[in-house]
Amino acid sequence: MKKMMQVTGVLLLTSGLLVGCGTTATEKPIKKEVSQASTLDTEVAAYKAFAIDQLDQFVIATEAFVEAVKAGEVEKAKELYAPARMYFERSEPIAESFGDLDPRIDARLADIKEEGQGEEEWSGYHKIEYGLWVEGKTEGYEEVADQLMKDVKELRAKVETVTVTPDLMIVGAVDLLNEVSTSKITGEEEIYSHTDLYDFKANVEGAEEIFKLFKANLQEKDAALVTTLEESFASLNDLLAKHEDGKGGYVSYEVLTKEDTKALSEAVDHLGEPLSQMAIVVE
């Protein structure tokens, strides 16, 4: 769930989208917008298919997680928690189209309090995270698990109705990076389990998928930008790879040093500005 802070590239993105998508009283810009939109139909369709596939996997992974919770299998639920959430984090630009479902699935307690709500309004993955890692139990969380399953299935059903646009994809890519810079990089997202690097990696993968879909179009408009983005994604992914646990996952965020988090933060910042410049595909 997003906070309001933004990385450096957002201002550039905003101005780029205003230039690329603004309408005027003249006929020429309107024709240009329609023509450009038609050339991106394939990319838009591919991204929606990607998001649907991720949410299909999210439903399956959540079912296994909920079963473990309801069966009282604390250690198994812990093992399933972070990998399941990665599917949601990769597809969050689509998931967040439904403002009520996103917080029900993904809100932290701090988010709930910021909205002026009480702890009794808290639900979803992070509430169960608290039960698993702080209380060390699943007892009492059965209803929360059932509601989580209902919400995840509802999200999957509703995603079919989302109208995906190039603008949504570009803003979504930058927002995924914003999530990294505002909560994952500080360890605030997974405050009880310290599995932030799983979310970090998934957000980067979601943004990189959008870049890859626009890559051919970007290559025609700004080959240097493509090179910069490829190098920046590679550098960030290389840094994340250093923190893999050798078992297909990532180490606890608690073991990272200040130097580790500084290097990751700088890599995210280095990627933020050029990523926002993908707005040229809609100009």
CATH code, domain carrying 188: 1.20.1420.20
User: Would the pLDDT of 161 be above 50?
Assistant: yes
Q: Both 78 and 115 in a single domain? A: yes
By residue range, what is the domain housing residue 20? 7-39+165-283
Within a domain: 77 = yes
Within a domain: 1 = no
Q: Both 175 and 147 in a single domain? A: no
Within a domain: 2 = no
Q: Both 99 and 131 in a single domain? A: yes
User: CA distances (Å), 112 to each of 85, 104, 120, 127, 185, in order?
Assistant: 19, 10, 9, 11, 21
Quick one: what percent of the chain has pLDDT higher than 90?
A: 72
Domain count, the chain: 2
User: Would the pLDDT of 146 be above 80?
Assistant: yes
Q: Both 112 and 202 in a single domain? A: no
pLDDT band with cut points at 50, 70 and 90 for residue 14? very low
User: Is 137:164 a contact under the CB 8 Å cutoff?
Assistant: no
Q: Both 265 and 127 in a single domain? A: no
Q: Both 208 and 271 in a single domain? A: yes
Report pLDDT for 282: 80
Round to whole Å and give the CA distance between 82 and 115. Answer: 25
Round to whole Å and give the CA distance between 166 and 65. Answer: 34
Average per-residue pLDDT for the chain: 87
Over residues 231-245, the mean pLDDT reads 97
What is the token pair recorded at 146? Answer: 């059932």
Higher pLDDT pick, 77 / 160 = 77
pLDDT band with cut points at 50, 70 and 90 for residue 1? low
Round to whole Å and give the CA distance between 8 and 270. Answer: 9
User: Would the pLDDT of 5 be above 70?
Assistant: no
Model pTM score: 0.85
Q: Both 203 and 255 in a single domain? A: yes
Residue 2 backbone zone (phi > 0: left; psi -120 to 50: alpha; other: beta): beta
User: Would the pLDDT of 204 be above 90?
Assistant: yes
